[in-house]
Structure formats: C-alpha cells, structure tokens
Amino acid sequence: MESNSGRPMLVPQISRCSDVDEFRSLVRNLDIEFTPLVRTISAEQIILNLPGCSVNLVKSFPRITDGQFAPNCTCVGFTMDEGIPIRFNGVEEIPSAIVIGSNGAAYTTVDRVGRQYASIVFTPQVEDRGWPEAGPNFRIFETSPRAYGRLRALVWEIMSVSSPAPEAEQDQISSAIRESLFAGIDAAFADVVPSKWATRANTVRQFRIFQDIRGILASSIGHPIYSSDIAKQMGVSVRTIHDAVLHFSGMSLHRYLRLRRLWLVRQQLRAGTQSVKAAALAFGFWHFGDFSQSYRSMFGEPPSETLARARGG
C-alpha cells in the first residue's frame, strides 16, 4: 500500500490464494519453482514493505521449492511455528534454525505439511554486520532458543502494525523497525551453536551437484532422461546423482522427476491450449494409461476434466 505521495505506508499487505501460479506471482526478488505435493493449495502471505527492507510472513502448503534470490539482496529466514520438520538444503529442520542467503544464493526445501515461516529481505545486500557469508547456496545455523524466540516475537510485533502512520513519522518508524531487525538478527548469529551437522549442511560441492542435476532435468523435461545420461554429462557416478537428489528432495530421482512432469502437464492443460495427448507427450509421458492413472491419483480428476474446465466445458 502506498500514500498519495507514492511512498510505502506502514501497513502489512495480506494476500491469499489457492493457485500455484498466483502464489508464485506474489514472490519478489526470487526466481522460484514450486512442485506441490497436494491436489489443492491454500497459501497466505503478509508483507510489510520498508525502505531497503521487507518483512514477509508466509503460511505455506506441502511442496518442493527450488529458489534463487536476486543479486544484491540478503535474505534471513526462520520458521514461526512448530511442526513436521522442513527439509532445507538436504537438512531436516532442527530447533532454533536460521538460514541466510545473499547475492543470488539458491536453496531447495521440502515441506511435507503446511508451515508458517518468516523471511526478512534487505536490499541492497548486507555486508557490514559480520553475518555469515552465504556463497552460492543458503546456509543454515542453530542459534540459541532465547535469541530465536526474541526474533520470532519481534516479527509478530512488527506485523501487528495495523494502521497507517502519519507521513511525517514514516521515515522514523521505518528506520527504527529496520534497526530492531538488524539487532535481532545480530543477536541470533552472535549466539550460533557450533555443530557438526551445520558444517556438513553448508558444504557447497553437493549442493552444486544437485543444482546441476536440476538444470539438466529442466532442459530435458520434454523427453525421457536417464540417470546414466545425467552422470555422463556431469562427469560423476550414477550413485552420486541418486544420492544428491535423495539428500535434497527426500525422494528418488524417478519420483522427483515424475512429480515435476505431472505438474507441468497440469499447467499446460489448465491453459487450455493443448490436447491431453499432446501435453502428456510434451513432458515425456508415452504410456497414456499409466499417465492418466497417475494424474488422477495426484489431482483427484482425469486430465480430460482439467482440460474441459479450462476450455469452459
């Protein structure tokens, strides 16, 4: 929301949606792909935009998320609730975990259930506070429960802002909120608990392997691709391929790719521009009986019904 002068007003903006593409369109400073793990989604995003900073509170849905932040920004994230652990960059979420990424860093998550989490995005990127450097991938750390609890409480307090501030006070309030966020994050990283799991989780090599696999799969999604082909193209073993996908996605290469292809077919059918057969073939499904059964199992309807609804039938 903006004032008549075009400046941001201190009022959180709330968006709710039940469509993956609509939800993706709400995400800023992030190149992102979702592979939902449920037939229907229900998501909510609350954003408070400040000069040089945004605070985002999201209620998610079961999904695989592959994202890469834009250059020249820093993102700090953490969960705001308790529940079945999220797999973040191959690591099952642990209590008091906080993640950070800067300047184009990438990540992958698997949410088996809907969770609530916060992300704080600073633009331009933060370089002068002694926070961990992210490198090509986000890094995850365990902080003290006390610092973690204070950071969560601070976000809830910030999001309780419910009315526009007088324009003359907006700069002062915005600066004060941002400084409070800096202080809360400073405290969380100052209280990081050294652990062997964090050292393993934050290695770059295996994450790069997974990103390379995703790139090959994305470029080959329209025709069958085999693990031996990927291994040969990357110069690694087939076992390395399978281990990397299992580590980061929590599922086999075959299932990961099949889920992704099914959702891509659904997107095509919902656009209403291709026949069921053409859409299935375009994404590597040649056994139409097996495809129809998998599609119905995943989405609760036959592919022909999805297409008919898209065409107004």
Which amino acid, one-letter code, is at 185? I
Residue 6 pLDDT class (50, 70, 90 cuts)? very low
Q: Could you tell me the CA-to-CA distances from 96 to 79, 135, 191, 212 in Å, in that order?
A: 9, 22, 11, 30
Which letter does DSSP use for residue 114 in this model? -
**pLDDT for the residue numbered 4:** 43
Q: How far apart are CA 291 and CA 283, in angstroms?
A: 11
What's the CATH superfamily of 205-310? Homeodomain-like (1.10.10.60)
Strands 63-69 and 53-59: unpaired
Residue 58 pLDDT class (50, 70, 90 cuts)? very high
Residue pLDDT, tens place only, 74-109: 999 999 999 889 999 888 888 899 999 998 999 999
CATH entry 3.40.50.300 includes domain 13-201: no
**pLDDT for the residue numbered 118:** 96
Q: Is residue 242 within a helix (H) or strand (E), and if so which, with residue range?
A: helix 238-249
Structural domain boundaries of the chain? Answer: 13-201, 205-310
The stretch 104-125 carries a mean pLDDT of 93
Highest mean pLDDT among 42-46, 252-256, 264-268: 42-46
Which among 108, 101, 97 has a CA at the least distance from the CA of 136? 101
The stretch 189-196 carries a mean pLDDT of 87
**pLDDT for the residue numbered 165:** 62
**pLDDT for the residue numbered 313:** 67
CB atoms within 10 A of CB 141: 21
156-160 contacts: CB < 8 A, separation 24 or more?
A: 156/80, 158/48, 158/55, 159/12, 159/46, 159/48, 159/55, 159/57
